[in-house]
Amino acid sequence: MKKIVDTVSRLARPVVERHECQLWDVEFVKEGGQWYLRVYIDKPEGVSIDDCEAISRELDGILDEADPIPNSYTFEVSSAGAERALKRPSDFEQFMGHDVEVKLYGSKNGQKEYVGKLRGYDGGAVEIESGRETLRFEKQEVAQVRLHISL
pLDDT at 150 over 90: no
Q: Does 115 or 70 have the greater pLDDT score?
A: 115
Read off the pLDDT band of 25 (50, 70, 90): very high
Read off the pLDDT band of 143 (50, 70, 90): very high
Beta bridge mates, 40: 25, 78
Say which CATH topology domain 2-79 has. GMP Synthetase; Chain A, domain 3 (3.30.300)
- Region 31-50: what's the mean pLDDT? 95
Say which CATH topology domain 89-147 has. SH3 type barrels. (2.30.30)
8: number of CA atoms within 13 Å, CB side? 29
- Region 25-29: what's the mean pLDDT? 95
What is residue 102's predicted lDDT score, i.e. its pLDDT? 97
Domain boundaries, the chain: 2-79, 89-147
Interatomic CA distance for residues 120 and 136, integer angstroms: 9
Tell me phi and psi for residue 86, to 5 degrees. -100, 125
pLDDT at 2 over 90: no
Structural Rg of the chain based on CA atoms: 17
